[in-house]
Chain A
Amino acid sequence: MQIKLNKEIDSRISAESSSASAKESVKELERAMQRSSENSEREKKALQKELSYMKDDSKLSISKLNAELERMSLRAQNSEKEAKMLNEQLEDLKKQLNECLREKNETELRLLDSAPLSVQRNPTDDQKLIKLLQEELRNYEKEVHEARRLKSSHTNVELLSEKLLEEQSRRKRAETELSKLQEIEAKAQKLELELASCTSLLGNIPDVSSYSNIADLQRQALTDLNKLGEVTSRLKELEVTLEFAEISKQRAEGEATLAKERAESASREVKRLELLLTAVSEERDRLRKDHNMLSNQKTRDGDDMSSKKMESDLSQMEKVVRELETTLHEQRELISQQHAELNLMNEKLSIEARKAKSLEREGDQLRSQVALLESKLGHGDYSASSTKVLRMVNTLAMDSEAKQTIEALQAELKKTKERLQAIEELKGQADAGTVVDANVAEKLAQLKNQVATLEKREERYKAVFLERISVFRKACCSLFGYQIVMNDEQQPNGIHVTRFTLQSVYAQTDDEKLEFLYESGSTNIVVNGYTSQHEIAQQVDIFIRKMNSIPAFTANLTMESFNKRSIC
């Protein structure tokens, strides 16, 4: 039995320890749950704040992107227009060059055909000059073509390099985002495992009541994560649009640089054309001189017609050259105007950029003001100078209150009507009001007389009673030898008692008094200082307590007091 007891005690102790440990574990789990819930709440709040910040940032970035896109599109359009203009000018210049070259060739042929004699004299020098000029022209043209090809290849190379850089940057960003995604996924898996472990622990513990809260927190966390994911996706979209905007910006800048380079090349070509023109004009002058020489020789030889033809051809050449010079001058002016316009556009762009920034700031301020106003509107604020708040006088509450008061008043009306009816009935029962009043007065007078007579009688009775009672007392005193004083008392228990105080006629002192209490037919002696004396106490014992006779006691006491008096 003892062993069993010990075993049971041990088992109980182990059970208690296990329960204590379980309780402790439960408490720890509850604390952990609280911490996790607090953490989740904090995370939720932080996520919500981040969401709000992200939303605001996304809105701002969207607005900025839209403005930048518009700017870039305008720039691109302007650069395209400029490029078109420059291309047209280049084409015109090329056409003019080709025409000049053709005319030169024609004039050369004419010169060759028309002046055989002059060629005979100095054929080799002129031919050499022409050939040299032609070769130079061809070389220049080749150089121009090669330069253009080099430029186009260079621009292509630049574009390709830019594209390569963009793609490399995209790859890097994608890789970083992928790594971040992997990290986030790992964190999410860890959190899910922790949550699953906590939920399993809570499921095992029966008394834990916050399981549903965890599920709600999980759902809220999932929804917040989904929102985060959506926001991140939007951010990525915005980043993509930003990249596209940057690419378009870079393309526009490249096109602008190309257009500038083309303008520069056009100006260089113009300069070269000028140089060619000067060379052509110099050659013309030389040819003129030669022609003059030839013409002088012809006049010597007598051939005027051919010289006239040569002169007309030369005049036409001069006209063409002048036209070319005027076109060159106009193109120079156009180019200078375009440069000035470009500078103006750049200044306008900078001014507009500043305006856009100031507008963005104003927009942010306005948004904050709008938020404040919306909060005020929602709160119900208004300006008394421009707005009045009105409501109907007879609202439903007022109507219900009015109905209640009306019902209460109607109930009071009914009560008062009932009272009036009762009063009228009472009045109807009585014959006349004046007769009732007279009887009442007579009765009152009679009653008053009766009261007076009764009072008189009472006084007489009192007086008579006092006389009689005094006579009775005197008689009792003279007959029985005791002066009796009667007083009514009320004991603490509430019972009314009559106290009789007897003093013998033969008493030698005023202290020799006997006191008796009379209650409902029974008379009892009261112990006082006189009755507690030895002699009196013996008599009280003998006559009252043993013989139960107060008269014998009082008689014996009077005899003794008489004997004492007579002896003294």
Chain B
Amino acid sequence: MERVRAKFWQWGLIRGVWCGCSILYNRGVYPEESFGKVKKYGLPMLLTQDKAVKTFLTNLTSQLSEWLEGGKLQRIVLVIMSKATGEVLERWNFNIITDGEVVEKGAVKEKSDKEIMREIQAIMRQVNSCISFLPCLDEPCIFDVLAYTDSDTTVPFTWMESDAKLIENPQMVKLHSFDTKIHKVDTLVSYKVDDLDEQ
């Protein structure tokens, strides 16, 4: 039972890291040469080789998985901002709805590895397809990750409260949601409308 639960949370962590790396790669936040192709679990994946980004992501995902197991995590938002001005250009919003039975009673709802792989592939395809309509990021950008948690969650010392880093009058595109029998994740990307597109 514990192995299955551990395996599930591990898959969730992996899924989150791969999704974040694919977004960073596709949006050009970091140069292509800073990503390395790695084959894991039968899938060729692009993972960042930057040490600072790696350590940041590992620290981040460990805390997020802890909150996930406790059912405290409501939403994860990956924010892409201009390095020069700090203006928020894109928000990748992952809204998480957790099955209370799993968290409270420890019920196990198994899922095969094949199904999990298919879901990961579907997520990657969705992220890659967003390039066709998202505006180009011509200036150097940085990213940050926001976690929407329950109000009674204790804040670790490496974390702090923050504003929501919203975009004024954004354009929103809803992607397909996916269900893991324990979590239902609704994906939505909101972005700042390009001035040329407005004209």
Partner of B77 from A380, A384, A396 at Cβ < 8 Å: A380
Partner of A389 from B60, B83, B93, B146 at Cβ < 8 Å: B146
A302 at the interface (CB under 8 A from B): no
The stretch that binds B, out of A8-16, A371-379, A441-449, is A371-379
Contacts of B166 in A (CB 8 A): 379-381
A382 at the interface (CB under 8 A from B): yes
| A: contact size bracket | 20 to 34
The stretch that binds A, out of B4-12, B51-59, B129-137, is B51-59
Contacts of B163 in A (CB 8 A): 389
Contacts of B91 in A (CB 8 A): 380
Contacts of B158 in A (CB 8 A): 392-394
A375, A377, A380, A384 interface centre (most CB from chain B within 10 Å): A380
Closest-CB distance, B149 to chain A (whole angstroms): 5
B162 touches A391 (CB 8 A): yes
Interface residues in B144-170 by Cβ distance below 8 A to A read 144-151, 153, 155, 157-167, 170
Partner of B159 from A378, A393, A397, A400 at Cβ < 8 Å: A393
Partner of B161 from A380, A381, A388, A394 at Cβ < 8 Å: A388
Closest to B50 in A: A396
Closest-CB distance, B196 to chain A (whole angstroms): 15
A392 touches B153 (CB 8 A): no
A399 at the interface (CB under 8 A from B): yes
Complex CA–CA separation, A380 to B76 (angstroms): 11
A393 touches B161 (CB 8 A): no
A378-B174, A387-B74 known; A396 vs B143 contact (CB < 8 Å): yes
A385 at the interface (CB under 8 A from B): yes
Contacts of B59 in A (CB 8 A): 392
Complex CA–CA separation, A389 to B188 (angstroms): 18
Complex CA–CA separation, A326 to B137 (angstroms): 91
Contacts of A385 in B (CB 8 A): 151
A386, A390, A395 interface centre (most CB from chain B within 10 Å): A390
B190 touches A397 (CB 8 A): no
B23 at the interface (CB under 8 A from A): no
Complex CA–CA separation, A400 to B91 (angstroms): 22
Closest-CB distance, B79 to chain A (whole angstroms): 9
B95 at the interface (CB under 8 A from A): yes
Complex CA–CA separation, A382 to B161 (angstroms): 14
B103 at the interface (CB under 8 A from A): no
B124 at the interface (CB under 8 A from A): no
A375-B172, A388-B161, A390-B161 known; A397 vs B144 contact (CB < 8 Å): yes
A393 touches B164 (CB 8 A): no
Interface residues in B172-199 by Cβ distance below 8 A to A read 172, 174, 186, 188, 190
A377-B93, A392-B59, A397-B83 known; A382 vs B148 contact (CB < 8 Å): yes
Complex CA–CA separation, A384 to B149 (angstroms): 10
A380-B166, A396-B53 known; A391 vs B150 contact (CB < 8 Å): no
B142 at the interface (CB under 8 A from A): yes
B93 touches A396 (CB 8 A): no
> Interface readout for A387-416 with B: 1 if CB under 8 Å, 0 if not?
111111111110110000000000000000
A377-B93, A377-B95, A399-B52 known; A389 vs B190 contact (CB < 8 Å): no
B149 touches A382 (CB 8 A): no
Complex CA–CA separation, A400 to B51 (angstroms): 13
Complex CA–CA separation, A283 to B104 (angstroms): 82
A388 touches B174 (CB 8 A): no
Partner of A391 from B53, B83, B147 at Cβ < 8 Å: B147
Contacts of B148 in A (CB 8 A): 382, 387-389
Contacts of A378 in B (CB 8 A): 93, 170, 172, 174, 188, 190
A391 touches B142 (CB 8 A): no
| B: contact size bracket | 35 or more
A378-B190, A379-B170 known; A390 vs B162 contact (CB < 8 Å): yes
Closest-CB distance, B100 to chain A (whole angstroms): 15
A378-B172, A392-B158, A393-B158 known; A387 vs B151 contact (CB < 8 Å): yes
A395 touches B144 (CB 8 A): yes
A378-B172, A397-B142 known; A390 vs B52 contact (CB < 8 Å): no
Contacts of B142 in A (CB 8 A): 395-397, 400
A374-B174, A396-B52, A397-B83 known; A388 vs B151 contact (CB < 8 Å): yes
A378-B188, A380-B164, A380-B166 known; A390 vs B172 contact (CB < 8 Å): no
Complex CA–CA separation, A384 to B190 (angstroms): 21
Contacts of A386 in B (CB 8 A): 150-151
A392 touches B60 (CB 8 A): yes
Contacts of A397 in B (CB 8 A): 83, 142, 144
Contacts of A394 in B (CB 8 A): 158
A391 touches B95 (CB 8 A): no
Interface residues in B34-51 by Cβ distance below 8 A to A read none
Closest-CB distance, B73 to chain A (whole angstroms): 10
Complex CA–CA separation, A213 to B143 (angstroms): 35
Complex CA–CA separation, A384 to B161 (angstroms): 12
Contacts of B74 in A (CB 8 A): 387
Partner of B145 from A375, A380, A388, A391 at Cβ < 8 Å: A391
Closest to B88 in A: A380
Closest to B81 in A: A397
Contacts of B157 in A (CB 8 A): 393
Complex CA–CA separation, A233 to B164 (angstroms): 44
Complex CA–CA separation, A374 to B143 (angstroms): 24
Closest-CB distance, B54 to chain A (whole angstroms): 11
Complex CA–CA separation, A456 to B41 (angstroms): 103
A391 touches B159 (CB 8 A): yes
Contacts of B143 in A (CB 8 A): 396
Closest-CB distance, A390 to chain B (whole angstroms): 5
B52 touches A389 (CB 8 A): no
B53 touches A380 (CB 8 A): no
Complex CA–CA separation, A390 to B188 (angstroms): 19
Closest to B149 in A: A388
Closest-CB distance, A37 to chain B (whole angstroms): 15
Complex CA–CA separation, A399 to B77 (angstroms): 20
A379-B190, A385-B151 known; A392 vs B56 contact (CB < 8 Å): yes
Complex CA–CA separation, A395 to B165 (angstroms): 14
Contacts of A388 in B (CB 8 A): 148-151, 153, 155, 161
Q: A387-B150, A396-B142 are in contact. List 14 more A-B contacts (CB 8 A).
A: A380-B91, A380-B166, A385-B151, A387-B74, A388-B151, A390-B146, A390-B160, A391-B144, A391-B159, A391-B160, A392-B56, A395-B144, A396-B52, A397-B142
The 8 closest A-B pairs by CB, nearest first: A378-B172, A391-B162, A378-B188, A380-B164, A380-B166, A390-B159, A390-B147, A397-B142
* 5 residue pairs from A and B, CB less than 8 Å apart: A387-B148, A387-B150, A392-B158, A392-B160, A396-B56
